[in-house]
Structure 1
Amino acid sequence: MAKGYWVSAYRSVSDPERLAAYNKLAGPAVEAEGGRMLAGGGRVDAHDAGVAGLTVLIEFDTFEQAISAHESAAYQEALAALSDGVERDFRIIEGAD
């Protein structure tokens, strides 16, 4: 079964306090659903139309688990705290088998 990944590329942060509130809630929500942070907050070498901002990669055992984690009540609470505090590109992708 293929793994699932969350990929978040932050284009801008307009409200660092909202991002901090989101991070406080999102970390435990992701961990409760079996997610593991593989990368986040490190250096980014962006190409083409990419922005060298904060980028986060989280791994789940399955694609379905990644979808379920995003839909969980705990993660939805984190998203509500984030609100419009950032502009980001968020994707859930299926890993190669």
Structure 2
Amino acid sequence: MPKAYWIATYRSIRNPDALAEYAKLAGPAIQAAGGRFLARGMPVHVYEKAEHQRAVLIEFDSVAKATEAHDSPAYQAALKALGDGAERDIRIIESVE
């Protein structure tokens, strides 16, 4: 079964306090579902037409595990805490194994 990667990019952060509360709840929720944080933060370089925005890369054992993490009650509570504190894009993609 191929691994999966959860990629989040942040177009804007409107409420840093809400984002901090989200992070406190989301990290444990994601890790409880088997997620492993591989990278997070601002890019060192951006190329072509990429925007300079915060990004997070999380590895899961499968798409099902990544989806389970997102849909879990614990992660949904984190999203509720975030509210409209950030404009983001989240994608779950399958590895090419």
> What TM-score results when the alignment is normalised by the length of structure 2?
0.93
Secondary structure, aligned partner of 2:50: coil
5+ residue gaps, structure 2: none
5+ residue gaps, structure 1: none
Which residue is equivalent to 1:46?
Answer: 46
Query: Is the CA contact 1:5–1:59 (under 8 Å) kept in the aligned structure 2?
Result: yes
Which residue is equivalent to 1:65?
Answer: 65
Which residue is equivalent to 1:75?
Answer: 75
Query: Is the CA contact 1:44–1:55 (under 8 Å) kept in the aligned structure 2?
Result: no
Measure how far apart 1:50 and its partner are: 2.1
> What TM-score results when the alignment is normalised by the length of structure 1?
0.93
Runs of 4+ in 1 over 4 A off after TM superposition: none
Query: Is the CA contact 2:42–2:53 (under 8 Å) kept in the aligned structure 1?
Result: no
Which residue is equivalent to 2:35?
Answer: 35
Greater shift, 38-47 or 20-29, is seen at 38-47
Measure how far apart 1:89 and its partner are: 1.2
Write out per-residue CA displacement over residues 4-31 of structure 1, whole angstroms, 9 at most, x where no aligned residue.
1110011110100010000000000001
Percent identity of the aligned residues? 53
Measure how far apart 1:52 and its partner are: 1.2
